Amino acid sequence: MKTARKNLVPVDLLENFTTDLFRAVGVPDDDARLCADVLITADKRGIDTHGVARLKTIYYDRIVHHRIQEPVTRLEIVRDRAATALVDGHHGMGMVIAARCMRMAMDKARRHGIGIVAARNSTHYGIAGYYVLMACRENMIGITGTNARPSVAPTFGVENMLGTNPLVFGIPTDEDFAFTNDYATSIIQRGKIEQAAREGRRLPPGLVITRDGGTATDPEKILAGLISGAMALVPLGGIGEDTGGYKGYGFATTVELLCCALQDGAALKDLSGFDRNGRHVPHRLGHFFIAVDISFFTEPARFRRTAGDVLRRLRASQRAPEAERIFTAGEKEHLAWLERRRTGIPLSDQTCRELVAMRDEQGLSNYRFPFEDETRQ
Ligand SMILES: NC(=O)c1ccc[n+]([C@@H]2O[C@H](COP(=O)([O-])OP(=O)(O)OC[C@H]3O[C@@H](n4cnc5c(N)ncnc54)[C@H](O)[C@@H]3O)[C@@H](O)[C@H]2O)c1
C-alpha cells in the first residue's frame, strides 16, 4: 500500500482548502468543516475514489453549476418517536444530513439501546464508513446504507436499476481500528471505474453487463455506457446465479427498500438526477442510520476484546500459498492513514487541475498547492 510520490498534498492544507471552498459556495462554517472532514477522511483512509477527487463533480458542480443541491442544509424532522425518526433533508448537504441523522440515532440508542433514523431528499453523503465510525467511537455499533444513482442490473437483467448501495457496519474492537466493511453492494462502484479511466487501465471481465448480456472492460466505454443505459454494473457475486450474484442483488435491493419505503421517498431510476428532458434535478437520495448501544448487552470493554479476538484469529489463520497476509475490514484504511499522515495525500493530475480551477473560480488566491511548484520531469 505504498503512496505514489506524485502530487502529495499535506492533510491540513487539503482540509483548510476544502473547508474554505465549501464556505465560498455558501455552506455555513460548521457544516463546511464537517463536509471537508468527510471528504478528507476518505483521502486519509486511502479511499481515493471518494475524497477530494469527487469534490468538483459531486458537490461543487451540483451546488454552483447545476443548482440541484442546497449549500445551507434545512433538516426537517418529519417524525420523532422514542427510538426512531424520519427526516427530510430538502436537498441540502448529504454529509451534514447523514452526520446529524447518525448523531440522532446515537442519542436515541443511549436512551433505548437502539436508534434508527431514516432520511429522504438527501444528496450524496460520501463514504458510508464515516458515519458508522462516529458510533464506534462511542461504544456503539453503527450501521448505514444509502441508495444512489441507478447503475446496477438485477440478476438476469441488463438494465441499470439499482444504485451501488453500500450496506456498511462499524463494530468497535480493542484494536486501533474498528471493523468496517465499507463498500458497495456491486462488485465495483463508479469511482473505481473513473480511476481506471484516469490511469488508462482495463477492468477485468464480469464487472459490467451489456444490453446483449456480454461484458465490457474498457473504462471509458463503461462510463459512457452507464450514462446512456447501454451497460450496467453487476451486483456482488457476479453475473447470473452460478457465483451467487443474486446475493449481492438481494443486499442492494434491501438497501434500496430501506432507503425509500420507510421514508416515502424516491427509488431506482427516479434517483438519476435528470428529468425527462435531460435537465439536472435533485437526486432525492434516501439513507438509513442505526446505532446500537453495546452497554445494553454487555460491558463495552468485554465486547471490544471479544471482537478484537475474532479478528486476530481470522488474520492468524492459514494463508493461501501466494498470499502475503490476511486482512480484516477497516485495517487497510488504518494502514493507509498511518502512511498518509506522514507523506500527505497523493492526488491524480486531473484532481490537481480541478482543485486549481475551483480555487481560481472562487478567488481563493491565498491557497497555493505544492504540486504547482513541482518541476515536472
Ligand atoms: N455514497 C454513495 O453513494 C456510495 C456508493 C458506493 C460506495 N460508496 C463508498 O465508496 C467507498 C469505496 O467503496 P468500494 O465498494 O469501492 O470499496 P472497496 O471494494 O474498495 O472495499 C473497501 C472495503 O473492503 C475492505 N477490504 C479490502 N480488502 C480487504 C481484504 N483483503 N480483506 C478484508 N477486507 C478488505 C476494506 O477494509 C474496506 O472496508 C466506500 O467508502 C463506500 O462507502 C459510497
Quick one: cell of 294?
Answer: 453495546
Would you write out the chain's pLDDT as a tens digit for each of its 377 residues?
444 457 999 999 999 999 999 999 999 999 999 999 999 999 999 999 999 999 999 999 999 999 999 999 999 999 999 999 999 999 999 999 999 999 999 999 999 999 999 999 999 999 999 999 999 999 999 999 999 999 999 999 999 999 999 999 999 999 999 999 999 999 999 999 988 998 899 999 999 999 999 999 999 999 999 988 999 999 999 999 999 999 999 999 999 999 999 999 999 999 999 999 999 999 999 999 999 999 999 999 999 999 999 999 999 999 999 999 999 999 999 999 999 999 999 999 999 999 999 999 999 999 999 999 875 54
Q: Where do runs of H (alpha helix) occur along the chain?
A: 11-24, 29-44, 94-112, 129-136, 190-199, 219-228, 245-258, 300-315, 331-343, 349-361
User: DSSP letters of 349-363?
Assistant: HHHHHHHHHHHHHTT
Q: What angle do CA 91, 94, 99 make, to 5 degrees?
A: 130
347 Cα: distance to centroid of ligand 1 (angstroms): 19
360 Cα: distance to centroid of ligand 1 (angstroms): 33
For ligand 1, say whether the CB of 53 is within 6 Å of any of its atoms. Answer: no
Give phi and psi for 183, each to the nearest 5.
Answer: -155, 165
For ligand 1, say whether the CB of 54 is within 6 Å of any of its atoms. Answer: no
Q: Classify each residue of 351-364 as buried b or exposed e, where b means 16 or more C-beta atoms within 10 Å of its C-beta.
A: bbebbeebbeebeb
User: What is 1-65+345-377's CATH topology?
Assistant: Hypothetical Oxidoreductase Yiak; Chain: A, domain 1 (1.10.1530)
Q: Looking at ligand 1, which atom is closest to the CA of residue 190?
A: 6
Sketch the domain layout of the chain as residue ranges: 1-65+345-377, 73-184+243-315, 188-233
User: DSSP letters of 170-181?
Assistant: EE--SSSS-EE-
CA quadruple 185, 187, 190, 191: dihedral, nearest 10: 100
Question: In CATH, what is the architecture of 188-233?
Answer: 2-Layer Sandwich (3.30)
HSE of 320 in the Cβ direction (CA atoms, 13 Å)? 4
Supply the pLDDT for residue 2. Answer: 43
Supply the pLDDT for residue 6. Answer: 77
Supply the pLDDT for residue 5. Answer: 52
**Rounded to an integer, what is the distance from CA 231 to the centroid of its chain?**
22
112 Cα: distance to centroid of ligand 1 (angstroms): 30
The protein residue whose alpha carbon is closest to atom 19 in ligand 1 is 183
Question: In CATH, what is the architecture of 73-184+243-315?
Answer: 2-Layer Sandwich (3.30)
Supply the pLDDT for residue 1. Answer: 42
Candidates 123, 160, 173, 183: which one to mutate for ligand 1, based on the most atoms within 8 Å of Cβ? 183
The protein residue whose alpha carbon is closest to atom 14 in ligand 1 is 183
The protein residue whose alpha carbon is closest to atom 7 in ligand 1 is 184
One-letter amino acid at 41 equals T
Grid look-up 453549476 returns 65
Quick one: cell of 237?
Answer: 457475486
Q: Strand 140-146 relative to strand 208-210: parallel, antiparallel, unpaired?
A: unpaired
Candidates 182, 226, 314, 334: which one to mutate for ligand 1, based on the most atoms within 8 Å of Cβ? 182
Burial class (CB in 10 A: 0-12, 13-18, 19+), 151: buried
Give phi and psi for 127, each to the nearest 5.
Answer: -80, 125
Supply the pLDDT for residue 198. Answer: 83
Quick one: cell of 260?
Answer: 425509500
180 Cα: distance to centroid of ligand 1 (angstroms): 9
183 Cα: distance to centroid of ligand 1 (angstroms): 3
Supply the pLDDT for residue 376. Answer: 52
Query: CB–CB of 208/225 below 8 Å?
Result: yes
| Closest-CA residue to 165 (of 146, 150, 179) | 146
